């Protein structure tokens, strides 16, 4: 049986291309996840896939790095699939673990290292770009540092969270977060 596995790294990426490719390759069942390889959902879907496969099955993936975020994860996943008597094959033909020769094993590890290297380069470029532009991620603060100091002063003299929130046109939760940050110091 051909069993597929698809994964995209972020919520705004689309699984459609991978799912269509796996269907066209003859997959009778496809497992998929749609967050980073670290997410609990992907770990569960990968576990479900490994539990599902049986001896003689072929696990199809579009690219080798879909099985994990690091070489260790990918190799561990492939080993677990092999222990069930199944093999792994990429649709681009670069990896086919049914070839159990030393050269086939070396090629799989080499491809995994290149996938990990590619991922590291992408992450490095992203981080460099974020630092260069000053956009480190996260939501923009509702209050400036000066406004937060004013809020702290108003809270200190006993003004209510509700009245401060109304004055600055923010939620009470925003004011409570400022208060909580000060209390934790």
Catalytic positions, written as ranges: 9
Residue 165 three-state SS: helix
* CA–CA separation, 152 and 119 (whole Å): 43
How far from 47 is each of 80, 81, 99, 109, CA to CA, in Å? 10, 10, 24, 21
In order of 3, 70, 76, 79, 169, the CA distances from 36 in angstroms are 21, 12, 18, 21, 35
How far is residue 12's CA from residue 7's CA, in Å, rounded to a whole number?
12
Q: Is 58 helix (H, G, I), strand (E, B) or coil?
A: strand
């Amino acid at each position: 049986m051909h069993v597929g596995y698809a994964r995209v790294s972020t919520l705004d990426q689309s699984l459609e291309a991978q799912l269509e490719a796996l269907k066209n390759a003859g997959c009778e069942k496809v497992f998929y996840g749609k967050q980073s390889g670290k997410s609990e959902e992907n770990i569960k879907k990968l576990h479900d896939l490994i539990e599902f496969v049986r001896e003689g099955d072929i696990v199809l993936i579009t690219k080798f790095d879909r099985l994990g975020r690091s070489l260790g994860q990918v190799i561990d996943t492939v080993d677990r699939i092999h222990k069930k008597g199944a093999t792994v094959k990429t649709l681009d033909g670069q990896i086919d673990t049914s070839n159990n020769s030393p050269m086939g094993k070396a090629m799989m590890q080499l491809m995994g290292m290149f996938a990990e290297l590619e991922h590291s380069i992408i992450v490095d470029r992203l981080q460099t770009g974020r630092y260069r532009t000053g956009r480190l991620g996260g939501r923009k603060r509702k209050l400036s540092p000066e406004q937060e100091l004013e809020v702290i002063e108003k809270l200190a003299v006993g003004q209510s969270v509700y009245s401060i929130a109304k004055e600055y046109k923010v939620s009470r939760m925003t004011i409570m977060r400022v208060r909580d940050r000060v209390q934790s110091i």
